[in-house]
Structure 1
Amino acid sequence: MAYVVFVGGLVVVLAGLTWFASWAKRRGRGSGVAGALAAYEEAYRTTAHQSHHELRQQADRKSESGSPDDL
């Protein structure tokens, strides 16, 4: 019986964290967490830190749209 309670509690906690992650993503929150992870990666995993900056640059870049005169 104790295992059922433990597994049930684990499922509830994981479901709550999943809901919180989706809520934070919809609201645009979590940039502080991303910054903290970037600082950690810069200190301990330099290749991951470089990848983080490359991904941020790709996200910030806007795709070039052709002008109407090109048709």
Structure 2
Amino acid sequence: MGSCRKFQIKAIGGRPTDFWLEHGSLLVMHPGCQSTHLHQVPKTNKVVSTRINLTFRPHTGGGR
């Protein structure tokens, strides 16, 4: 099982909000969120067990 980790998000110029993501959690950031908010999984001073992060982004634009 993955480790519980803190995820922080804040509006640019605002105060951060913390979410504790446990094993199996799913966090969805709506379109445009990355242009108005900053986000991170902050570093810790203690040893934290393994975690896996998957990121899905839409692919748009021309190809071949």
**Looking at both structures, which has the greater relative contact order when contacts are Cα pairs under 8 Å and sequence separation is at least 6?**
2
Tell me the TM-score range normalised by the shorter chain: under 0.3
Query: Which structure would you say has the larger Rg?
Result: 1
Q: TM-score, normalised by structure 2?
A: 0.23
* Larger proportion of helix: 1
